[in-house]
Every structure is written in C-alpha cells, then in structure tokens.
Structure 1
Amino acid sequence: MKLVVLSDLHGDVTALDALAPAVAGADVVLLAGDLTHFGREAAAAEVVGAVRRINPAVLAVPGNCDRPEAAAWLERSGLGLDGRCEVRHGIAFIGAGGSIPCPGRTPNERTEEVLADRLESARRGVPAGIPVVLLVHQPPLGSPADMAGGGTHVGSTAVRDAVRACRPVLCACGHIHESRCAESWEGAWVVNPGPLREGHYGVVRIESGAIVEAAVR
C-alpha cells in the first residue's frame, strides 16, 4: 500500500499540479489538517475537491485553521476521520483534528482532554489484529515532528499517549511547518511532510503490515 501525506495546504493547491503523478499513484491520500486558511465549508470543499480530482481516495482531519463549518463538512462528506475509524486495504485509519491552544487564537483549538476523548473514540472502532495508521494535525509531544522554530517541543500529550497506547505503524501529522520529518519514534514512524503550499509531501509504503518506506519530499 502506498500513502501520500499532505498537510497545511492553507487554501493553496497550486503545488498539486507538480505533485499530481505522486498523488495519483497513492492507494490513500491523507490530509493532515489546515486544508483552508480560516475557511468554511466552501473553502474546504474546493481544496478537497482539487485533491480528489487527482485521486478520489482521500481521508482527512481538520486543522486549527479550519473553521468548525469546514470540519463539519468533512464529517458530512464521509472523508473526515476526526474521532472515528475507517478500514481500508486491511489497515485501520483513525484520526483526530484541531490543535491544542496556539500562541495566536485560531478557530479549531481543543484542550488536551477533548483531543484525548476524540482519539479514544477513534481507537474504539479499531478491529483486533490489524495495523493502525493515526492521522492527526497536532504532532505528538516530544517527537521529531513537534519542534518549533525556537527549539521547543510543542506537541500534544494526548497524541503522544495515543501513539503509546495503540502502537500505530504510522502517525501522520502536520501543524509545525518547520518540523518536517519521517522518523521512527516510540515504535511508530512519524511523518510531518511540511506545508503543501511550499511543495512538500510525504510518501509511505506499507507491506505485510509494516512500513518499508517513509520519506518527505
């Protein structure tokens, strides 16, 4: 199975043209939040539609810059993973959107407790004995994906605890633009591709329930 991870589009899909061959070749495209730049339903539909015209196999979570209307549209569309599980190709995809509070106020922030509740709701839907992929916007605390520009870890304890509890093969995230990575951490591969609007994306290949390739480009 090939996964392509896109994050932090912020309403700008101009880079998709150059990435179209990679996106089209994925079994599933994961959108790790901030699809819009403070946009609502129409903005989310436009961005997701641009991706789905290349590859319709999309799963997504909202980011902190996606307004509640955008998050609600994702849920209604059946593409959103916030607080739920979907099995594709023998892999359980679970997710949680939004972020913990930011230095500047954004429209889709959550407490650690709410984020933990959404993650637990998603985990309850996982069938026994199959690999798990975790899709979040906020990276886990202390991981290679959550290092802010000043060198401080700014991730979520709830996401960290979920990684430790459900042992996913992959934690795909975004949010911290400068902390691009594809590294093994706490028994999982953590992939933060960096912002799509700068042309960045992640590629992950899973064979027999294990990751055989993880890279950011």
Structure 2
Amino acid sequence: MKMLLLSDIHGDIERLKDVLDRSPETDLVAILGDLTDFGPVDLANEVIGVIEDYNKEIVGVPGNCDPDGVEEALSSVSGLVDGSRKKFGEFTFAGLGGSNPTPFNTPRERSEEEIEEVLEELVPDQDNLILISHVPPKGAVDLTQGTHAGSDSVLRVVKKYEPLAVLSGHIHEAQGKTEIGETVIINPGAVKNGDAAVLEINRGIDVRFL
C-alpha cells in the first residue's frame, strides 16, 4: 500500500496543488488535520475537492485549527472521522482529531483524559492498525521551540498497544520519522510549507519526504 500523507494545509490551495503535482500515484491519501486556519468550512470543502482530483480514496481527521463543520466535510469523502475506524485492504485506520491543550486556545482542543478515553475505544485488539492522530505522541516528531508538544495520552496508548504506525502532523517544523518500540511514527511536515510524505508499506515501512 502506498499513501500520500498531507497535514497542516491551513487553506493554502496553491501550496497544496504544488505538493500534489510533485506526488507520485498512490493508493490512498491520508489527511492528518488542519485543512483550514480557523475555517471557513467552504475552504475545507475546496481543499478536499482539490485532493479528490488527485485521488478519491481518502482517510482523514480534523486538526485543532479546524472549526465545527470540517469533520462533516471530511466524513462525506473519507468514511473516517474523529473517534472511528475504517478498513482499507488488510489495514485498519483509526482517527483522532484535534489536539491536546495548546497556549493558543484553538477550536478543537481536548484534555489528555478525553484523548485517552477515545484511543482506548479505538486501538485495542486491531491487527495492522494505523493511527491517524493530528497530535503526535509526546517526545516523537513533536519538538517546537525546544519543547516537546505532543500528547502524553497518545504516547501511553502507543506504548501499550504498539500499532503498526502513527501518522501525525500539528508540529509544522518537526517533519520526520522515528519509532516507539515497534511502532513507526511519521510527521510529513506542513503542506503550507511545501512539505508532505509518501508512505509505502510492503514487507517493511518506507517513507519518502517530498
């Protein structure tokens, strides 16, 4: 399976089109949140439409900067929303939107307790699970201004259940790949900065940053 990973578009349609022009053909597109910069929902629909022109197979979650209505726009094309699962071939995707609390009082923040409750419903007893979480685990591809801004709850659940991979965004400058135990953690970087990644899962997990 080959996937295009897109995160933190923040409504930048021209950068999005440039990234898609540079992208190879893939089986699936994963949108990792922050389609918009606090809206509007019409812009989220425009973003989704541009991505659909590239590939109509989409999974995605809203980010902390996406207001009410963006989740509904995503669910109409992806079949995966915050707090749900979706099968694609031999893989199961689980979605966690929004983020842990930030200093910026963004529209879609949640407590660490709520994050853990959602993940405990989604993650256990799933083979070949890929977690799409806008916020990364604490300490993994989450460094911003010298501080690890990821989620303690995502980290705990990853250590406990060891999903196949976690695909996250949120921290624009933390593009990269790392591992927690047997789980591969990937941040493709921010589309608004011209960044994205292609993930290929065959016998192993390979990532190419665009």
For normalisation by structure 2, the TM-score amounts to 0.92
Question: Which residue of 2 is the match for residue 174 of structure 1?
Answer: 169
In the TM superposition, structure 1's runs of 4+ consecutive aligned residues that sit over 6 Å from their partners are none
- Report whether the alignment pairs 1:132 with 2:125: no
Question: Which residue of 2 is the match for residue 214 of structure 1?
Answer: 207
Query: Which whole-Å CA distance do the structure 2 matches of 1:82 and 1:167 have between them?
Result: 20
Question: Which residue type is aligned with residue 183 of structure 1?
Answer: T
- Report whether the alignment pairs 1:196 with 2:191: yes
Question: Which residue of 2 is the match for residue 147 of structure 1?
Answer: 143
Q: How many residues align?
A: 210
Alignment partner of 1:71: what SS? helix
Question: Which residue of 2 is the match for residue 43 of structure 1?
Answer: 43
Query: Which whole-Å CA distance do the structure 1 matches of 2:39 and 2:72 have between them?
Result: 12
How far is 1:58 from its partner? 0.8
Question: Percent of aligned positions with the same letter in both sequences?
Answer: 34
CA 1:5 to 1:54, structure 2 compared with 1: closer, same or farther past 3 Å?
Answer: same
CA 1:113 to 1:87, structure 2 compared with 1: closer, same or farther past 3 Å?
Answer: same
Contact 1:148–1:176 (CA<8 Å) still a contact in 2? yes
Question: Which residue of 1 is the match for residue 57 of structure 2?
Answer: 57
Question: Which residue type is aligned with residue 158 of structure 1?
Answer: S
Question: Which residue type is aligned with residue 192 of structure 1?
Answer: N
Contact 1:140–1:158 (CA<8 Å) still a contact in 2? yes
CA 1:121 to 1:43, structure 2 compared with 1: closer, same or farther past 3 Å?
Answer: farther
Q: Calculate the aligned-residue CA RMSD, in Å.
A: 1.8
Query: Which whole-Å CA distance do the structure 2 matches of 1:53 and 1:17 have between them?
Result: 10
- Report whether the alignment pairs 1:205 with 2:176: no
How far is 1:104 from its partner? 1.1
CA 1:198 to 1:48, structure 2 compared with 1: closer, same or farther past 3 Å?
Answer: same
Question: Which residue type is aligned with residue 182 of structure 2?
Answer: G
How far is 1:89 from its partner? 1.6
Contact 1:61–1:81 (CA<8 Å) still a contact in 2? yes
For normalisation by structure 1, the TM-score amounts to 0.89
Question: Which residue of 2 is the match for residue 156 of structure 1?
Answer: 151
How far is 1:68 from its partner? 1.9
How far is 1:77 from its partner? 4.5
Alignment partner of 1:14: what SS? helix
How far is 1:192 from its partner? 0.7
Unaligned runs of 5+ in 1: none
Matches of residues 97-112 of structure 1 in structure 2 within 5 Å? 97-112=97-112
Contact 1:43–1:70 (CA<8 Å) still a contact in 2? no
Contact 2:86–2:93 (CA<8 Å) still a contact in 1? yes
Query: Which whole-Å CA distance do the structure 1 matches of 2:176 and 2:92 have between them?
Result: 23
